[in-house]
Amino acid sequence: GESVGLHLPTLSVQEGDNSIINCAYSNSASDYFIWYKQESGKGPQFIIDIRSNMDKRQGQRVTVLLNKTVKHLSLQIAATQPGDSAVYFCAALNYGGSQGNLIFGKGTKLSVKP
Protein backbone atom coordinates (compact mmCIF):
# COMPACT_ATOMS: atom_id res chain seq x y z
CA GLY A 1 0.00 0.00 0.00
CA GLU A 2 0.89 3.63 -0.09
CA SER A 3 3.28 4.96 2.50
CA VAL A 4 4.53 8.38 3.42
CA GLY A 5 7.56 8.75 5.61
CA LEU A 6 9.71 11.42 7.12
CA HIS A 7 13.47 11.24 7.10
CA LEU A 8 14.15 12.52 10.60
CA PRO A 9 11.93 12.22 13.68
CA THR A 10 13.46 15.30 15.36
CA LEU A 11 15.05 18.52 14.18
CA SER A 12 16.57 21.24 16.32
CA VAL A 13 17.33 24.68 14.88
CA GLN A 14 18.41 28.06 16.16
CA GLU A 15 15.87 30.86 16.15
CA GLY A 16 16.26 32.87 12.97
CA ASP A 17 17.77 30.01 10.96
CA ASN A 18 15.98 28.27 8.13
CA SER A 19 14.47 24.82 8.73
CA ILE A 20 14.12 22.05 6.20
CA ILE A 21 11.89 19.07 6.89
CA ASN A 22 11.97 16.21 4.42
CA CYS A 23 9.47 13.56 3.44
CA ALA A 24 9.43 10.60 1.07
CA TYR A 25 6.41 8.95 -0.49
CA SER A 26 5.81 5.72 -2.36
CA ASN A 27 2.75 6.27 -4.56
CA SER A 28 3.60 8.15 -7.71
CA ALA A 29 -0.16 8.48 -8.41
CA SER A 30 -0.65 10.87 -5.49
CA ASP A 31 -2.42 14.03 -6.63
CA TYR A 32 -1.62 16.34 -3.78
CA PHE A 33 0.90 16.62 -0.99
CA ILE A 34 0.08 18.56 2.12
CA TRP A 35 2.04 19.74 5.13
CA TYR A 36 0.43 19.96 8.54
CA LYS A 37 1.70 21.45 11.78
CA GLN A 38 0.55 19.98 15.08
CA GLU A 39 1.21 21.81 18.31
CA SER A 40 1.01 20.03 21.62
CA GLY A 41 -2.59 19.33 22.61
CA LYS A 42 -4.04 20.55 19.31
CA GLY A 43 -5.23 19.11 16.06
CA PRO A 44 -3.16 19.20 12.86
CA GLN A 45 -3.19 22.61 11.23
CA PHE A 46 -3.02 22.96 7.43
CA ILE A 47 0.14 24.81 6.35
CA ILE A 48 0.51 24.46 2.61
CA ASP A 49 -0.20 22.02 -0.17
CA ILE A 50 1.24 21.33 -3.59
CA ARG A 51 -0.33 19.66 -6.56
CA SER A 52 1.61 16.83 -8.15
CA ASN A 53 2.11 18.76 -11.40
CA MET A 54 4.06 21.48 -9.61
CA ASP A 55 7.66 21.57 -8.39
CA LYS A 56 7.49 24.42 -5.94
CA ARG A 57 4.95 26.44 -4.04
CA GLN A 58 5.52 29.33 -1.67
CA GLY A 59 3.49 30.61 1.20
CA GLN A 60 4.17 33.00 3.98
CA ARG A 61 7.66 32.05 5.25
CA VAL A 62 7.17 28.50 3.95
CA THR A 63 8.13 26.81 0.70
CA VAL A 64 7.33 23.29 -0.37
CA LEU A 65 9.48 21.56 -2.98
CA LEU A 66 8.39 18.43 -4.79
CA ASN A 67 10.79 16.11 -6.60
CA LYS A 68 8.74 13.48 -8.37
CA THR A 69 11.78 11.75 -9.80
CA VAL A 70 12.91 10.59 -6.37
CA LYS A 71 9.46 10.83 -4.73
CA HIS A 72 10.59 13.37 -2.21
CA LEU A 73 9.16 16.57 -0.85
CA SER A 74 10.42 19.11 1.61
CA LEU A 75 9.07 21.93 3.71
CA GLN A 76 11.32 24.92 4.17
CA ILE A 77 10.58 27.42 6.93
CA ALA A 78 12.40 30.72 6.66
CA ALA A 79 13.61 32.60 9.74
CA THR A 80 12.34 29.96 12.14
CA GLN A 81 10.62 31.33 15.23
CA PRO A 82 9.84 29.77 18.63
CA GLY A 83 6.18 29.60 17.58
CA ASP A 84 7.20 27.20 14.82
CA SER A 85 8.05 24.53 17.40
CA ALA A 86 5.67 21.66 16.71
CA VAL A 87 5.40 18.29 15.00
CA TYR A 88 5.22 18.55 11.22
CA PHE A 89 3.49 15.92 9.12
CA CYS A 90 3.51 15.43 5.41
CA ALA A 91 0.48 13.77 3.86
CA ALA A 92 -0.40 12.50 0.42
CA LEU A 93 -3.75 12.25 -1.26
CA ASN A 94 -4.77 10.24 -4.28
CA TYR A 95 -8.17 11.32 -5.55
CA GLY A 96 -8.46 8.33 -7.80
CA GLY A 97 -7.64 5.65 -5.26
CA SER A 98 -8.65 6.87 -1.85
CA GLN A 99 -11.63 9.13 -2.48
CA GLY A 100 -9.96 11.88 -0.56
CA ASN A 101 -8.46 10.45 2.59
CA LEU A 102 -4.98 11.57 3.57
CA ILE A 103 -2.07 9.19 4.08
CA PHE A 104 0.13 10.69 6.78
CA GLY A 105 3.79 10.27 7.53
CA LYS A 106 4.96 9.76 11.10
CA GLY A 107 6.00 13.34 11.79
CA THR A 108 9.12 15.38 12.56
CA LYS A 109 9.34 17.26 15.81
CA LEU A 110 10.86 20.70 15.26
CA SER A 111 12.46 22.38 18.27
CA VAL A 112 13.54 26.00 18.01
CA LYS A 113 16.31 27.14 20.34
CA PRO A 114 16.20 30.81 21.39
Give all strands (DSSP E) within 15-85, no chain letters.
19-25, 32-38, 45-51, 56-58, 62-67, 72-77
Closest to 67 (Cα-Cα) out of 3, 24, 107: 24
List 24, 62, 65, 102, residue binding another protein (CB under 8 A): 102
Which residues from 65-94 bind another protein, rule CB under 8 A? 89, 91, 93
Q: How far is the CB of 104 from another protein (least distance, A)?
A: 4
Residue 43 binds to another protein (criterion: CB under 8 A): yes
Closest to 110 (Cα-Cα) out of 91, 86, 89: 86
List 9, 16, 59, 100, residue binding another protein (CB under 8 A): 100
Total residues contacting another protein (rule CB under 8 A)? 24
- CB-hemisphere CA count at 13 Å for 14? 2
Residue 27 binds to another protein (criterion: CB under 8 A): no
CA angle 95, 71, 106 (to 5 degrees): 75
Q: How far is the CB of 100 from another protein (least distance, A)?
A: 3
List 2, 7, 31, 68, residue binding another protein (CB under 8 A): 31
